[in-house]
Structure 1
């Protein structure tokens, strides 16, 4: 697996407009044994969009953040914007890739899609194993999506939305079966909202009170609900997100500890060093050495 060798930050690949259809927020593409991976996908990178890949047949390994996935046949892989992705080698691929942007989900007609478990991904999973029947159903819906996508017309957008709703709803049912969970309560939704805010602001906001202010709640109430629902103090969620991003940068980039500390909103590199060791038991330098040695 490649790691970045320059001082540049992890590249973020924007959504690319489909040159055939002109779509700027949704694409679907099928591969029948081609090599779809560009060289720039073999280095650690982020995508500025959601990615779903239905694999009929493929071999190889890819990473989502620090988790490796050995690709399996008849399996769906998915990721959200800003996660660090990398593929280890280009290999022949049979299947279908579907992409859409955050802006696509903000459209009023897609409001229900935003709340689906596959999109929310509360368990931070990135792989769904499909039975033969599941695979046939998913492939059929993807075929219908591709047919509509390639034939613009007055009803195209509604048909795309209808087929996509069926697909993501079906996959969300599989998600809840493979990543067990129940319908969230009001307090659980608050926890999810808090975590989403952390995702947006963790580089700038390091205190619970700052998030409570954004959510128009008292810090005490927010802390009480978060602790009751997650079993962890509210501040721990902020710290864990900072540690996750620090680990990403330590693993995939050659950025100095000072640069990483500054990127994460720490004005003092020595404080970042102490913070990371307190949270993980290792200094940032020790973690970088250990994790890279593990996957050499």
Structure 2
């Protein structure tokens, strides 16, 4: 099975990639792919350029060496051993050290993670899907040993065709996600959510699906069976903003991503983000950032 560019330059101008270009047999684990970093990275001179997987979740386990990570405009370097989690639609890229870098890349269709039973039973779904994570394992040898064993078993199951392959592979994947979820949870040390924090989290999830539609606060209130007053209080409690500011922040973030990672004309970005008038989009963007879209792109190109 190989990774293939599908519509490699999307309408938004960021490279989109999908897996599963070859037909799967009935015994293959559905919607899951695993490969070693070295085999993939060597094909691209150890640099995986900026791209996005719209419907796929990735776990990158760096066993040895180091990696320079690019996630949504931020860049930093991490030494092995470490785990990197990339939720669907997060812009990312990697520059792996040539000398001794090795590890594994596990790619899972978001359909697996959005499955109703998985969502009901898995305790760390929101934490793993909310944003990308870079987790150092250098101070956690027990976790590293567990992850190493699980991934080794996953690779063996993936290569072989023993009876129960699909079920065993899914069990191993679930165990791996649980271990990574625990590490994410421990690194954040969150306290129990109160009512407003829960409502805010649910709102953010809805916004992610509808922000291009420019829905009003009343739409989200109806979706969450609450009032706009409660939504505004939840936003103020967690982020210090109101619902409108949250919606505008999400549109602005997506506009910045597209301006940074693509050469798509500003007018097309405006239409893609649901603005009927590119001039209005430019005024909106300038109010939020202090510069016009064109100037923002020029400043990033110079930097």
TM-score above 0.5: yes
What does residue 34 of structure 1 align with?
Answer: 39
TM-score, normalization by structure 2:
0.83
CA deviation vs aligned residue, 1:4-56 (integer Å, no higher than 9, x gap): 9998732321232566764441122234x434365598443211300101001
1:79 is the counterpart of 2:86: yes
CA contact (8 A) 2:48 2:93 kept: yes
1:130 Cα deviation (Å)? 0.3
Counterpart of 2:115 in structure 1 is: 107
User: TM-score by structure 1 length?
Assistant: 0.84
1:114-169 alpha-carbon deviations (Å, 9 max, x no partner): 74354233xx3420000333322211111122233333455333333332232222
In the aligned structure 2, how far is the partner of 1:53 from the partner of 1:30? 9
Q: Which moved more, 1:167-176 or 1:182-191?
A: 182-191
Matched, 1:158 2:164: no
Supply the distance in 2 between the matched residues of 1:186 and 1:165 (Cα, whole angstroms): 29
Equivalent residues in 2 for 1:1-296, closer than 5 Å: 9-16=13-20, 22-31=28-37, 33-36=38-41, 39=44, 42-47=48-53, 48-87=55-94, 91=98, 93-111=101-119, 112-113=121-122, 115-116=124-125, 118-121=127-130, 124-131=131-138, 132-294=141-303
Which ranges of structure 2 fall in alignment gaps of 5 or more residues? 1-7
Higher RCO (CA 8 Å, separation ≥ 6 residues): 1
Change (3 A) 1:102 1:229: same
How many equivalent residue pairs? 288
Consecutive unaligned residues of structure 1, counting only runs of 5 or more, are: none
* 1:13/1:45 contact within 8 Å kept: yes
Report how far residue 258 of structure 1 moved: 1.2
SS in 1 for 2:212: coil
In structure 2, do the counterparts of structure 1 residues 206 and 285 end up closer, same or farther at CA, with 3 Å as the change threshold?
farther
Preserved contact between residue 30 and residue 166 of structure 2 (Cα < 8 Å):
no
Distance (whole Å) between structure 1 residues aligned to residue 32 and residue 40 of structure 2: 21
Residues 105 and 114, structure 1, Cα contact 8 Å, conserved in 2: no
1:35 and 1:245 map into 2 onto residues whose CA distance is 29
SS at match of 1:203: helix
Residue 265 (structure 1) shift: 0.8
- Contact persistence 1:36–1:90 (CA under 8 A): no
Contact 1:34-1:94 within 8 A present in 2 as well: no
